[in-house]
A and B are shown apart, each in its own frame.
Chain A
Amino acid sequence: MCLSNARPGQFIEIISIPDPDVKAQAIRFGIYEGAKVKCSEVINSGPVILQNRMQEIAVGHNLAKKIKIKLVS
């Protein structure tokens, strides 16, 4: 599934990020292939907010559609 389909409260693992530039920028925020993060908020057809410890990241809808994830329990 893709990140834009995640629901608030779910724990997810990032499977793939398409664009190499986005990939390089996201990895600095702790968002990279294999990272396990929490989805803390989703704005309907808007940004997804990811939480990694104390760090919150907002990911725009179009980008979230391109990021593949899977749920972890």
Chain B
Amino acid sequence: MSSDHSTNMPFDLKSHSDKIKLVLVGNPNVGKSVFFNALTGIYVDVSNFPGTTVDISHGIYNEYIVFDTPGVYGVSSFNDEERVARDVILSGDIILNVVDAVHMERDLFLTQQLIDMGKKVIVALNMMDDVKRNGLKIDIEKLSEMLGVPIIPTVAVHKIGLDEVKNKINTACTGNPISGIREKLKEVMPLVSNPSEALLVLEEDENIIARNNIQKDYNLREKIYHQRRERVNEIVDKVVTQTSQGASFKTRLSQMMLKPLTGIPILIFTLFIMYEFLGVFIAQTVVGFTEEIIMGTYYNNFIVSIFEPLLKGHNFLEKFLIGEFGILTMVPIYILGLLLPLVIGFYFLLSILEDSGYLPRIATLVDKSLTKLGLNGRAIIPIILGFGCVTMATITTRLLGSKRERFIATMLLGLAIPCSAQLGVIVGMTSSIGISYFLVYVLTIVLVFIITGTILNKILPGESTDLLIDIPPLRIPRIKNILSKTYTKTIMFLKEASPLFVIGAVLITFMEHFNILVGIQNIIAPLTEGFLQLPKEVATAFIMGIIRRDFGAAGLFSLAEQGLLNDAQILVSLVVITLFVPCIAAILVIFKERDWKESALIWFGSIFISFLVGGILSFILI
């Protein structure tokens, strides 16, 4: 990613040049996106883990153009998010700084920095409900006086204080900077375009220094940061009082989640519940109803009975529309009957996990293991999101600290993490072949994951970064947010999957009609029949898998339904399709996020590893 975002903003700002730029700024996970929703009416992701927002969204509110930024702990350039946020902040006219009232000693560091930059700031002191719950008391007037900017207490999720924030945006003002900073800024001002940049130059921000061609080293970062830290501590000491010890159950649960002795059983139990819900209830009971009865029988008979008479004599067209891979038969049956319930179920669970604040605790718990793969605990977030959609997860690898970590995580995501739709099909199929095969499947994938990570960690140059994260409080997920998140993700899935499924269906029918499919099946028969010991028809599923992995998994599903695969063959084909290439959407994102050499390596590497592992398994089992 380039470091200069002012020139390639992903949207057209010129058409809104008359608007005042209002930028939402705050630490990760403080409720910025809730404010953004409230102001603009646009839903963007809201989760209880740092780093939910990685792209800048923007919307219109009255005379303002509002920007949602990724959460940052300070204005600087330690990672891509910070660089992106920094440039939006620099271009902003008014900063709406959202502060988590429970974590002021952390959040006010950013607030003070914004004030030191000379920005017009208004503070929304959010999470006031948690303040009460934790037995804290905050002197808001005193806080406002010390910072020198308006402070409005809010509970964003309950819409408390939002109107007041809206009404008072125009009262935002420049506050009280730390002492002595104004004088220092004067020295740099002639070299840059505004006081905000001047401050960043003093704080040794390499991008801003390079942009303004500044030769002199000021080396003041440590000194300024220290002074700011002391000022913030002083403010917090003066305005916050602990009146009673708050919620002890959450504290105890939080501790239990972190201690391996209790944390690992809790993690296993959570995964077990997820499996029961997704793998047993949704994948079997619900899908059995939606796929076989509603879509597979009623819908299929209905659509065929309408179109068959109309298409008499148009053999080719009939195949396209209502044939084995028909646009009106296979596509809706797969998408609506098979994948949709799984995707909804998965995102429902994932949203609960995200909102509870459990994910950062899992990150801490698994940090030790992930460091052996050249990652740190933070990487568990893209990995878990990868089970939802590898495409989106690849984007969140940005939150990892170094280039090598991002490559390792992207490779592992593309290779060994099945996405929700695919996972659902796989779980459904493995449940029919018995628990021991399921365990072999899981073990194989986990082994591939570990071996690949370990090897990459050995051969890639450089060093990975260490874990340094803050752990948000546990929260009871809000049902409304869970539902809206599940809804938006599901719509996104339908939008992304449907066109590709249609294209895939047309392609496969075309190849089938002109006997290309059989041709390919025969050409790669040595691989499928010989090496993998599978019927040559699975080649069709693999071709489908290049388009989307869940499409490929669905193809296997129907082969298994037709009784073409025995248990061991189901296992081998599932392993291959799981490890197979990332879907087209994911590979496009990978190409965008990584350079083409790395992307090509990931693509071909996945194919190679998938067949190799499949071959080894089939050699042992079949």
Inter-subunit contact A20/B105 (CB<8 Å): no
Interface membership of B102, Cβ < 8 A? yes
- Specify the chain B residue showing the minimal Cβ separation from A22: B468
Inter-subunit contact B468/A26 (CB<8 Å): yes
Inter-subunit contact A47/B467 (CB<8 Å): yes
Return B130 CB to nearest CB of chain A, in Å: 9
A23, A30, A63: the one contacting B222 at CB < 8 Å is A23
Q: If A40-B255, A49-B471 touch, does A29 touch B364 (CB 8 Å cutoff)?
A: no
Inter-subunit contact A47/B255 (CB<8 Å): no
Interface membership of A25, Cβ < 8 A? yes
Interface membership of A10, Cβ < 8 A? no
Inter-subunit contact A30/B466 (CB<8 Å): no
Inter-subunit contact B471/A58 (CB<8 Å): yes
A65 to B250, CA, bound (A): 30
Residues on A with beta carbons closer than 8 Å to the beta carbon of B233: 30
Interface membership of B410, Cβ < 8 A? no
A23 to B254, CA, bound (A): 27
A22, A29, A43, A62: the one contacting B470 at CB < 8 Å is A29
Chain B 118-145 residues near chain A, CB threshold 8 A: 134, 136
- Specify the chain B residue showing the minimal Cβ separation from A40: B255
Inter-subunit contact A58/B469 (CB<8 Å): yes
Return B228 CB to nearest CB of chain A, in Å: 8
Interface membership of A1, Cβ < 8 A? no
Interface membership of A73, Cβ < 8 A? no
Return A35 CB to nearest CB of chain B, in Å: 8
A55 to B226, CA, bound (A): 19
Q: Specify the main secondary structure of chain B where it touches its partner.
A: helix
Return B358 CB to nearest CB of chain A, in Å: 14
Interface membership of B103, Cβ < 8 A? yes
Chain A contributes a number of interface residues (CB within 8 A of B) equal to 32
- Specify the chain B residue showing the minimal Cβ separation from A21: B78
Return A29 CB to nearest CB of chain B, in Å: 6
Q: If A28-B106, A28-B110, A59-B468 touch, does A46 touch B368 (CB 8 Å cutoff)?
A: yes
Contact-size category for B: 35 or more
Interface membership of B599, Cβ < 8 A? no
Inter-subunit contact B226/A25 (CB<8 Å): no
Residues on A with beta carbons closer than 8 Å to the beta carbon of B578: none
Inter-subunit contact B468/A61 (CB<8 Å): no
Inter-subunit contact B471/A57 (CB<8 Å): yes
Chain B 468-483 residues near chain A, CB threshold 8 A: 468-471, 473
Inter-subunit contact A32/B221 (CB<8 Å): no
Interface membership of A24, Cβ < 8 A? yes
- Specify the chain B residue showing the minimal Cβ separation from A41: B258
A41 to B260, CA, bound (A): 10
Q: If A24-B78, A58-B471, A63-B468 touch, does A47 touch B367 (CB 8 Å cutoff)?
A: yes
Cβ-closest 9 pairs across A and B: A60-B467, A63-B466, A46-B368, A60-B466, A56-B471, A28-B73, A58-B364, A28-B109, A54-B102
Extra 17 A-B pairs, beta carbons < 8 Å, given A41-B255, A52-B105, A63-B468: A24-B76, A26-B468, A28-B106, A28-B109, A29-B470, A32-B226, A46-B367, A46-B368, A47-B367, A53-B236, A54-B103, A54-B473, A55-B470, A57-B471, A58-B468, A58-B471, A61-B371
